[in-house]
Structure 1
Amino acid sequence: MSISPEDIAEEIRTTLPGTEEIIVQYLSGYLLDLDDAAEDEDVLQVTRTILDSAIGSSSRKAKSPQLDQEGKQDCTIAFSEGVDLESINKGKASRVDVKKLEKQEAKLKAKIEKRSKRNLYEGSKLLDQQRKQQSYEEMFLKINPLDAAAASKNKSKDIHLPSIDVNFGSNRILSGASLTLAHGRRYGLIGRNGVGKSTLLRHIAMREVPIPSHITILFVEQEIIGDETTALDSVLKADVWRDTLLREEASLNKQLAELDSEGDDKRFEDAQRRHKRDSQMYIRVLPRWKPKADLQEPQHCLLGSDSAKKTSRDRRNHSVPSLLLLDEPSNHIDLNALAWLEDYLQTWPGTLLVVSHDRAFLDAVATDIIHQHSGRLDYYKGNFTQFYSTKSERDRNLRKEYETQMEYRKHLQAFIDRWRYNANRAAQAQSKIKILEKLPELHPPEVEETETFKFPEAEKISPPLLQLNEVSFGYTPDKILLRNVNIDVGLDSRMAVVGPNGAGKSTLIKLLTGELKPLAGHVSQNGRLRIGYFAQHHVDSLIPDMTPVQFLASKFPGKTEQEYRGHLGNFQISGMTGLQQIGTLSGGQKSRVAFAVLSLQRPHVLLLDEPTNHLDIEGLDALMAALNTWNGGVIIISHDERFITSVAKELWVCADGTVSKFRGDVQAYKSLIVSNIKARP
């Protein structure tokens, strides 16, 4: 039996006739919600018990002469402060069903526990959904059927969706936004961390927004999962159509062999016809592609971040889609690979939509910029520099127009206030009132939010702080990665380490932290020194089922929740975001949590391995400003040219087994890399 609010409302009207309707509606909703963890048949019984108690109290009060005289007093007095619940319960004690009471208490406890586990962003549900997501091949076949390429002939590959809504759990990402992608254009999608850029890409990739079915889509996410698959097999399997048909062909050949051995001529002929029919599909779909031999050796689980990312790009190259979606493609790759990627994407034949916070990368690749903010998408022609100039000019004009309009309104209002009741000027005042009423509603222009990061001041300690003296290291004695490294780190150090992936940059940082021990040489460290280490894959150190507040409390117990939330606010994790599960945060928000953890260590030296990978442009500006005003030592590994130029005073190159100071700036180093790439045969 299902109990509705109307059933309870009718019970209240019957028991307490004359009760105001607004009270009836409120009580029915309240009582139903109060007992929604219980069985439906118990709800009316609980309601009747409460109403009977109220009537008992009301009847006793009705004996008063004053009430007899009034006669029509509102029955809602039964629920006022005058109800003596203690005497009611005492009088009805003999009728209490103890077992039923225990049952209700157990259900109420279950209800409270259920509510406590519920959070605004439905984090657990979203994480479970992510864990159960389809494999790459299943997803590709679902959104790109085999006949998609043939169906796209003579059809426009432009995308124009005038009004789309995108949600993430209970969060509204876009509302009535226009999505327009012209075929052959390269779009850079930018916006603040947590605004929903990756969510939008996933919705497009899964066709959760109505992308035309004849447009093939390939989505390259921020991270790829390492496994035992060789790089060659990974690239070949990227052509899912080809891989699926090859497996079907192998299955049919196996069936033919089994039927031939059984001597069943009829079934054998049927299988042969089916094989012949499908063979026409194989000929049409299977590409003639000859892979390089070196892709046959390394496995995904053995590749560095850069190599794994390159394999992911090769997968994309081997399966050319109409629409290519890239989520932070410049993360985890060195300057060499970044230069190649920029050059490659400039000649991409289809439509490109890329999420990136790297200004130099967007300047090199993008023909258009899409700015995602306030639940909408704004479009700008040109690369990031042109976007920034155009948007700044537009914002200035909007502010100027707003201020002009406000001054005009103030002028009208002042005239009205002065002459409204003057007989000679009353007509003019009325005219001004009509003008003022006809003016359109004025909204102030959006104020660009500024971010600030704050690191605690480092205590002064006497040098030397941290030194490497003739240090050599290799993961095996016969393969030395770094030789005779000498570095001296002080509170005034501002070093940037650059070089190709796999050369040993992250290994150098781990030697400085003491996580790795050298095979030769000596690492000296001040006994009072505290080092803050931001790892390249810092996400692995965060617990996805915890909230940022809970994670900080687990690492640094002893503070109140408000203190933890205030500290997170120093890194722009504010409001409900601090109570949202870490697993549902964006990459940039997770980076902010990691920085908040670092600052609680009160370090003297910060070792930052690719700290810019997930930060948005505003977050990157805030990080640069915080590091430039901080009084501790900083060593960074980064591929971001602007970040290195702003923060570092020294440039060190890690390559060919050595770490040495580079005589020049990052632009000179990048020019040297590009010239070397072009000089190769």
Structure 2
Amino acid sequence: MSSEDIAEEIRTSFPGTEEVIIQYLSGYLVDDAGEEEDVLQVSRTLLESLAGDRSDVLEKLMTRLGDLLEDQLKARLKSRAGPKLLKLDKVMDMSRSGLSSTIALGEGVDLESINKGKASRVDVKKLEKQEAKLKAKIEKRSRRDLYEGSKLLDAHRKQQTYEEIFMKINPLEAANASKNKSKDIHLPSIDVSFASNRILSGATLTLAHGRRYGLIGRNGVGKSTLLRHIAMREVPIPAHITILFVEQEIVGDDTIAIDSVLKADVWRDHLLKEEALLNAKLAELEAEGDDKRFEDAREEAATRLADVHARLSEMDAESGPARAAALLAGLGFDEAAQKRPTRSFSGGWRMRLALARALFVKPSLLLLDEPSNHIDLNALAWLEDYLQTWPGTLLVVSHDRAFLDAVATDIVHQHSGRLDYYKGNFTQFYSTKSERDRNLRREYETQLEYRKHLQAFIDRWRYNANRAAQAQSKIKILEKLPDLEPPETEETEKFKFPEAEKISPPLLQLNEGTFGYTPDKIILKNINFDVQLDSRIAIVGANGAGKSTLIKLLTAELNPISGHVTRNGRLRVGYFAQHHVDTLIPTMTPVQFLASRFPGKSEQEYRQHLGNFQITGMTGLQLIGTLSGGQKSRVAFAVLSLLNPHILLLDEPTNHLDIEGLDALMQALDTWNGGVIIISHDERFITTVAKELWVCGDGSVQKFHGDVQAYKSLIVSNIKAKA
């Protein structure tokens, strides 16, 4: 039974399951399960989270897996039982005299000479083969530790509900404990590790209450790991400071969106339930007589109810539904969407729900990991405006410079195992850091020149009788100088797309195009759109307005119900989908993936091509599943460039790219000679790359006469006018 057969069974039973979970489970069941584990029970635990309320489907799948794995499970059971006991034909003499004579030989005995002439019962070749298999299994397990699948299994083994985690991290008593206490955080020396990698060593974590910090650093430096450590109080954050981390999308169920937001404030939900119970209890007690025990119970319940009312009043519980509705509206949920069950939303919209829940809770310390990756420009404009008046402390990981300029009051630069702090937004940070780097470089060069001058004097006059004393003095000066280390240099990245060959216009045109999935629900109507080799077009608009639909019409993935698309017969289009990672195979290396898509080149040629997008060294030979989001994006760009495209259609290409990667992409597109259409929420990326701004909405696609900043201001004004 192969792991692929198992994988196919899981796919059939639970379509839509992430491939990384499928691959991990199938590999675990067939190859990797330890003999001491009940493999089917462990797998059931993980699959239950996928099944939801489909228990009948789960039972059928488990029965099927049991049948398929019957032989392997029996073999494992037999192996677990160990060797059977045999009855001896003769009694062995284990007397002291027998043992002592053996022990007497122990000093300096030549065991080889004792067995000389006797054939060894060990099959050396079999032993070597078993050792090789064991070594391979150990290496496979160590690689799997890096693979996302093992982390998924660990997460499911330790799985807790949102409410349980919230109350564990933020116990209800913390609200009372926080009164009159400072909410500033100052930890002078923290260490943070992930597996065997040291992320921070002796770093200082300083977060002043009410400030908004942008956490920046290169892909893979450990920013998200730091946020998780803070969120789980694995660094000693004071207990009275409430924390909430928005990292993953919420789990979909039958709860409607607005109720999901209301329930996110576990304290409020807990107190409201207690209030209802106390009111019910008091109603029962009122019906009882004047007995002393009933009087005492009524008084106790009334006192507790008054305390609950005071706590609810402090947190402004009554305004909860109105606040939740306003947050959802700002993030793009209309009135109808707010009443839909959470399971009906896609992953991107569930991430918006997770963000709305966090904003509703208003923790003392809010942690956000790339919040702009999951929202369109309309919602991003609202979020920037909303966070500017955030009352608590904010620590946000983002590579969007415009977002950091709008939101951040401080920048934290994570690098070289430490945290450096800068006042101001990203632009101010960049200016300050550039100036500081120039000063450090000048100081280093001055010191280097001074030392060279001293050494030259010493070399010239060291053995001259008249100048020997002066030379000796210079030697002493040189010896007392501290070690000179060159300042850290920021690595720059470069992407390179192959030059597009010239072809005659028209290249790609949509003429009077109309499209709808049903005739009564038209998404785009009478659209005219023309793309040439020199086109640099950005398409913006709310999610669901039809931006991606327009791209799919241009790529012929969809056909208009009226109008037509004109394409040059020689035209090659490179399409970067918003969820590009879905097209990458996690169990392949980047080199293997390129070879599967574009066969015929040598490994060195594939690695050299990946180097054009900064996938260098051994990274090209790692499993794609172990790469960071930014590295996966780079692999996707490498695949696109091998198409030798004339036009690039890029749907949210900046997601996951760090600032250096984003700079490299912008520079590559600026120098490339093909046509570019982008869908993006990154203001700086749009401003740098695009020459035209088109707005998609109300079934049309219209050219906008203004820049991105003007468009965002218009959005915020419209949202405030409706509020």
TM-score by length of 2: 0.75
Select which of 79, 96, 113 maps to 2:121.
Answer: 96
Q: 1:71-86 maps to which residues of 2 (within 5 A)?
A: none
SS in 1 for 2:362: coil
Bigger mean CA offset, 448-457 vs 112-121? 112-121
Q: Counterpart in 1 of 2:318?
A: 288
The structural deviation recorded for 1:318 is 2.1
Select which of 151, 155, 160 maps to 1:126.
Answer: 151
SS in 1 for 2:456: helix
SS in 1 for 2:340: coil
Question: Is contact 1:127-1:583 (8 Å) kept?
Answer: no
Select which of 102, 109, 124 maps to 2:133.
Answer: 109
Q: Which runs of 5+ in 1 are unaligned?
A: 1-38, 40-54, 60-88, 258-267
Select which of 263, 266, 278 maps to 1:237.
Answer: 263
Instruction: Output the CA distance in 1 between the equivalents of 2:163 and 2:616.
Output: 38
Identity in percent: 75
Question: Is contact 1:366-1:384 (8 Å) kept?
Answer: yes
Instruction: Output the CA distance in 2 between the equivalents of 1:495 and 1:299.
Output: 36
SS in 2 for 1:331: helix
SS in 2 for 1:470: strand
Q: Counterpart in 2 of 1:85?
A: none
Select which of 165, 188, 197 maps to 2:191.
Answer: 165
Task: Go from structure 1 to structure 2 and tell me whether the alpha carbon gap of 1:600 and 1:225 turns closer, same or farther (over 3 Å shift).
Answer: farther
Q: Counterpart in 1 of 2:572?
A: 530
Instruction: Output the CA distance in 2 between the equivalents of 1:642 and 1:172.
Output: 33
Pair 1:368 & 2:410 matched = yes
Select which of 166, 174, 178 maps to 1:152.
Answer: 178
The structural deviation recorded for 1:581 is 4.1
Q: Counterpart in 2 of 1:199?
A: 225
SS in 1 for 2:419: strand
Instruction: Output the CA distance in 2 between the equivalents of 1:167 and 1:430.
Output: 48
Aligned length: 596
Task: Go from structure 1 to structure 2 and tell me whether the alpha carbon gap of 1:245 and 1:680 turns closer, same or farther (over 3 Å shift).
Answer: closer
Residue by residue over 1:382-403, the C-alpha shift from the partner in whole angstroms, topping out at 9 and shown as x without a partner, is 1111111110110010000000
Instruction: Output the CA distance in 1 between the equivalents of 2:142 and 2:597.
Output: 24
Q: Counterpart in 2 of 1:413?
A: 455
SS in 2 for 1:201: helix
Select which of 526, 542, 555 maps to 1:484.
Answer: 526
Task: Go from structure 1 to structure 2 and tell me whether the alpha carbon gap of 1:456 and 1:255 turns closer, same or farther (over 3 Å shift).
Answer: farther
Bigger mean CA offset, 431-440 vs 194-203? 194-203
Question: Is contact 1:369-1:387 (8 Å) kept?
Answer: yes
The structural deviation recorded for 1:440 is 0.7
SS in 2 for 1:96: coil
Q: Counterpart in 1 of 2:245?
A: 219
Q: Counterpart in 1 of 2:430?
A: 388
Question: Is contact 1:249-1:275 (8 Å) kept?
Answer: no
Q: Counterpart in 2 of 1:15?
A: none
Q: Counterpart in 2 of 1:620?
A: 662
Pair 1:500 & 2:542 matched = yes
Q: Counterpart in 2 of 1:648?
A: 690
Bigger mean CA offset, 632-641 vs 580-589? 580-589
Task: Go from structure 1 to structure 2 and tell me whether the alpha carbon gap of 1:566 and 1:402 turns closer, same or farther (over 3 Å shift).
Answer: same
Task: Go from structure 1 to structure 2 and tell me whether the alpha carbon gap of 1:289 and 1:92 turns closer, same or farther (over 3 Å shift).
Answer: farther
Task: Go from structure 1 to structure 2 and tell me whether the alpha carbon gap of 1:170 and 1:638 turns closer, same or farther (over 3 Å shift).
Answer: same
The structural deviation recorded for 1:182 is 0.8
Bigger mean CA offset, 284-293 vs 596-605? 284-293
Q: Counterpart in 2 of 1:603?
A: 645
**What one-letter code is carried by the residue in structure 2 that aligns with 1:122?**
L
Question: Is contact 2:282-2:302 (8 Å) kept?
Answer: no
Q: 1:18-57 maps to which residues of 2 (within 5 A)?
A: none
Select which of 597, 601, 610 maps to 1:555.
Answer: 597
**What one-letter code is carried by the residue in structure 2 that aligns with 1:129?**
D
Bigger mean CA offset, 145-154 vs 436-445? 145-154
Q: 1:171-186 maps to which residues of 2 (within 5 A)?
A: 171-186=197-212
Task: Go from structure 1 to structure 2 and tell me whether the alpha carbon gap of 1:563 and 1:237 turns closer, same or farther (over 3 Å shift).
Answer: farther
Pair 1:318 & 2:360 matched = yes
Question: Is contact 1:469-1:484 (8 Å) kept?
Answer: yes
Instruction: Output the CA distance in 1 between the equivalents of 2:299 and 2:558.
Output: 63
Instruction: Output the CA distance in 2 between the equivalents of 1:657 and 1:609.
Output: 19
The structural deviation recorded for 1:545 is 4.4
The structural deviation recorded for 1:360 is 1.6
Residue by residue over 1:480-516, the C-alpha shift from the partner in whole angstroms, topping out at 9 and shown as x without a partner, is 1100111122222211111222211111111112222
Task: Go from structure 1 to structure 2 and tell me whether the alpha carbon gap of 1:182 and 1:414 turns closer, same or farther (over 3 Å shift).
Answer: same
Instruction: Output the CA distance in 2 between the equivalents of 1:556 and 1:253.
Output: 70
Instruction: Output the CA distance in 2 between the equivalents of 1:131 and 1:565.
Output: 36
**What one-letter code is carried by the residue in structure 1 that aligns with 2:321?**
P
Residue by residue over 1:180-235, the C-alpha shift from the partner in whole angstroms, topping out at 9 and shown as x without a partner, is 10111111111111111111111111111111111100111265555543211210
Bigger mean CA offset, 174-183 vs 146-155? 146-155
Bigger mean CA offset, 575-584 vs 177-186? 575-584
Q: Which runs of 5+ in 2 are unaligned?
A: 1-81, 83-109, 284-293, 326-334
The structural deviation recorded for 1:653 is 1.4
SS in 2 for 1:480: strand
SS in 1 for 2:534: coil
Question: Is contact 1:121-1:170 (8 Å) kept?
Answer: no
Task: Go from structure 1 to structure 2 and tell me whether the alpha carbon gap of 1:273 and 1:465 turns closer, same or farther (over 3 Å shift).
Answer: farther
**What one-letter code is carried by the residue in structure 2 that aligns with 1:185?**
R
Q: Counterpart in 2 of 1:379?
A: 421
Task: Go from structure 1 to structure 2 and tell me whether the alpha carbon gap of 1:557 and 1:280 turns closer, same or farther (over 3 Å shift).
Answer: farther
Question: Is contact 1:122-1:170 (8 Å) kept?
Answer: no
The structural deviation recorded for 1:562 is 3.6
Question: Is contact 1:323-1:351 (8 Å) kept?
Answer: yes
Task: Go from structure 1 to structure 2 and tell me whether the alpha carbon gap of 1:255 and 1:94 turns closer, same or farther (over 3 Å shift).
Answer: farther
The structural deviation recorded for 1:112 is 2.2
Residue by residue over 1:131-150, the C-alpha shift from the partner in whole angstroms, topping out at 9 and shown as x without a partner, is 55544333222211121111
Instruction: Output the CA distance in 2 between the equivalents of 1:170 and 1:556.
Output: 36
Task: Go from structure 1 to structure 2 and tell me whether the alpha carbon gap of 1:222 and 1:505 turns closer, same or farther (over 3 Å shift).
Answer: farther
Task: Go from structure 1 to structure 2 and tell me whether the alpha carbon gap of 1:101 and 1:524 turns closer, same or farther (over 3 Å shift).
Answer: same
Select which of 645, 661, 666 maps to 2:708.
Answer: 666
Question: Is contact 1:127-1:584 (8 Å) kept?
Answer: no
